[in-house]
Amino acid sequence: MIRWLIELKNKFLSGQSVDAQHSVTYFAHIPKTAGTSFITVLDRYFDQDSIYPHQLWRDVEEIPASDHYQLYRGHLGGGGLKLLTDQPIRYLTIVRDPVDLTVSTWRFVLREPNTAVHDLVKQREFTLDDFLQHSRTRQLVENRMVRNLSFDFKEDADAQEVFLSPTSLKAVQQHVSGQQASLNDEHRYQRARTFLQNCIWFGLQDQFDASLQLFSYVFQQPPIGATQKLNKRRSEQPLSDAQMTAIRKSNIWDQRFYQDAQSEFDKRYQAMLEVLQTLRTSDDQSVDDLLDIHYQKHGQHALQQAVDFDFGQAMSGTGWHRRELAQPENNYFRWSGPGKESFLDFWLQPDVYDLQLRIINALDSALLDDLIMTANGLSLEWHSHDRGVVRVIQAQIASEQLSSNGLLRLGFKVKRSVSHAEAFQSNDERQVSFALHWIKISPCQSQK
């Protein structure tokens, strides 16, 4: 056991940066496994123009894709990305309890008109039992994870879990290679298990927060903290014993695979905790506190003389929603949330700096009047010539407000956050406070 743990630490948790320079990152998104919520986190670590824009095969326009993309994510199947890039691939995925996955899939198809079998399910008022038995729907919930991760255009082209519509299949049919023989379920299970073992990171949907902690560790980023769970619906009536039995019977290999995943996740998480424990200096430090120390100690941080940042760039920070496009500027911003505190990290050479940032929206002007800004926890006195919810804010950062390692953690604290829907009469349930557009940091000219 001890020898295995050492090998695991060396492979995944060694404290060395994940080598992104000579590889691409691929999140194999199995539908209904919290992937939408995870993608909003994952995207922040990549420049917008380095992210492959398509997540469905029916939208793919060029095979192979341009070689400048660094991040791919979507419903492309475990081995599907090899069709789009010749670069080495770092694999990520999230898996889920097969019973919960089955129920979530049924409910999703029932409410979403854009799914391939929605009309059938809606018009005939399919119960869960109907969904499990009908020839056109049961394939969506039979060993879905195993088939999804096993899929490959050459070795397992028959596992077409990723093709949820004839349009998708048509888009890539010419690239499907004839197989010598179809794989059986056990072979697919073994392929999926190997895929999971080779993932540089994977998460469990029912341990989402712990999964994000492991992600922060592997990618040497600050702790992610609270996130908004997207596309999540409240559970309804419990399943009957007969329904539970039927689901498990339809997912024998997914059940086995998920048990493997739980065991592997526990090993990786515990190995992470053992490494973090070596950084502990007091009993009251949380896992997130130790993750932050690990990020500052082991991450690659080039010290800059100036910053010209917008949200089209990769970021390190916590408390921000997905990128959104600002018009007419045609560049990006992010809403703060879902909590009342957020921060962004920059790494600077020792100096005194002038800070400028632009906020382009907020719940109201009073929220911005009361905005608290900090540099590494020390209060920043800010001012603005603007009023209302669009403001350019200015402040000065003293040299003693930088950490000795060069970190500038620019913090923001507001008195409240509410849903976008409530504040702006939209259908967006994200908890938000203010929308940040850009940040500029330059050496203070008055000090020269």
Residue 340: how many CB atoms within 10 A of its CB?
16
Give exposure, 210-229, as e/b (b: 16+ Cβ within 10 Å).
Answer: bbbbbbbbbbbbbbbbebbe
Cβ atoms of 249 and 186 within 8 Å: the answer is: no
* Cβ–Cβ < 8 Å for 69, 60: no
DSSP line for 402-439: S-TTSEEEEEEE-S--EEHHHHHSSS---EE-EEEEEE
All domains in the chain, ordered by first residue: 2-274 (3.40.50), 307-447 (2.60.120)
Q: Which two tokens stand for residue 67?
A: 């070689």
Exposed / middle / buried, residue 447 (Cβ in 10 Å: 0-12, 13-18, 19+):
exposed
Q: Check residue 114 and give its pLDDT.
A: 81
- Please give the chain's pLDDT, 448 residues, in tens: 444 444 555 555 544 444 556 799 999 999 999 999 999 999 999 999 999 999 999 888 888 888 899 999 999 999 999 999 999 999 999 999 999 999 999 999 988 888 878 888 888 889 899 999 988 888 889 999 999 999 988 888 887 766 656 677 777 777 776 656 689 999 999 999 999 999 999 999 999 999 999 999 999 999 998 776 665 555 567 889 999 999 999 999 999 999 999 999 999 999 999 999 999 999 999 999 999 999 999 988 999 999 999 999 999 999 999 999 998 889 999 999 999 999 999 999 999 999 999 999 999 999 999 999 999 999 999 999 999 999 999 999 999 999 999 999 999 999 999 999 999 999 999 999 999 999 999 999 876 5
Burial label for 18, CB within 10 Å (0-12, 13-18, 19+), is: middle
Q: What does the pLDDT look like over 380-389, one tens digit per residue? A: 999 999 999 9
Three-state DSSP class for residue 31: coil
pTM for this structure? 0.92
Q: Which of 383, 392, 344, 389 is nearest to 367 (CA)?
A: 389
Q: Kindly report the backbone phi and psi dihedral angles of residue 111, in degrees, each rounded to the nearest multiple of 5, phi listed first.
A: -100, -15
Write the CA distances from 20 to 70, 91, 275, 298, 393, integer angstroms.
Answer: 8, 12, 22, 15, 35
